[in-house]
Amino acid sequence: MSKNLSQQVVLDRRGFVAATFATVAGLGLAGCSDTSAEADKGSAASSKSPDDTKASTTLDAKAFDKLVDNGPKADDDAIAASTWATAVKNAGVFKIGSVQTSTLFSLLDEKDGKTRGFDAGIAQLLSNYILGENKVEITQVTSDTRESVLQNGQVDAVFATYTITDERKKLVSFAGPYYYTQQAILVLADNDDIKSVDDLADKNVAVQSGSNGPAILEEFAPKASQQEFKTDEEARQALQQGRVDAYVIDNNMQQSSLVREPGKYKIAGKPFGNKEPYGIGLPLDSDGVAFVNDFLKKIEDDGTWTKLWQICIGDRTGDTNVPKLPEVGA
């Protein structure tokens, strides 16, 4: 069987609504971009103009696909020792909850039907690790539905810039962490009023429901007036239309906006709040945690994680500082 990614998009009710909107708008759920955005040439960094860096918004699809295809493979004994991995192997397909609209982390290319990005790459590498091929079936999720698709057995795992929290660990289990982030403030490029989180007092600020943004914003800017939106796209539309003054969510998602539409936005000040660990969501008390953590350690040790970061994020944002590898299982 070809090692090219085989993907079937399965939409739950909320995902269907979001995807329908995406088709009409030519965009998608959270990161909201399509192949036209991927084809845009430009550069983006939190404090640089397009002329300050030679980064390209276009992901190197050939390098991405080659890296995934050449990823490690689990031996039969390792799979047999995990009930979770055995179930995936027997099903012959890896069912995940994710998005296909996040420019840096998981974006559908409508030209070839493949989803690429850092989260997408981790998921495809894990599929290849278990099945020997990239056979991923995607159910669209939002921040509000990530737990439910695991609880009802609709998916095997969730890859969706999914921050590990104590509250969420009561509902699902997490492998990882495999990435870290902080909150960041997105404003329009011509906004000179907001320069840091301190300037959000008495401002209308968009946040995404189900994310960590509302709680963190309440802690660092209690006088800000929060407006919750279900998707990243809705929040950015409110910002573009002047219905809010700023938008607060994970810095990694904000970087996606900068890469997708150079010159439209900027990051105000520095990221704030504690470092938030991204994890791979698994069913509660699943023995898949140990199996996936072993996989994550392998791709860190053999350099695959670093190469994936470079292809999906570093080369596209102009960031030359490779992040410190996450301590898996911490």
Q: Check residue 19 and give its pLDDT.
A: 36
* pTM exceeds cut of 0.85: no
Contacts of 48 (CB under 8 A, 6+ apart): 318
Q: 6-180+276-317 with 182-275: one CATH topology?
A: yes
Give residue-wise pLDDT tens across range 142-186.
889 999 999 999 999 999 999 999 999 999 999 999 999 999 999
Give CA angle at 99 (98, 105), nearest 5°. Answer: 95
Second CATH level (architecture) for the domain 182-275: 3-Layer(aba) Sandwich (3.40)
pLDDT tens per residue, range 233-265? 999 999 999 999 999 999 988 998 899 888 999
Query: pLDDT digit string (tens) for 11-25?
Result: 333 333 333 333 333
Domain locations in the chain? 6-180+276-317, 182-275
Contact at 8 Å (CB) between 163 and 276? yes
- The pLDDT value given to residue 189: 96
Spatial separation of the C-alpha atoms in residues 121 and 227, rounded to whole Å: 32
Decide: residue 191, CB within 10 A, 0-12 exposed, 13-18 middle, 19+ buried: middle
Give the side-chain half-sphere CA count within 13 A for 327. 2
What is the second-level CATH architecture of the domain 6-180+276-317? 3-Layer(aba) Sandwich (3.40)
Question: Average pLDDT, whole number, for the chain?
Answer: 85
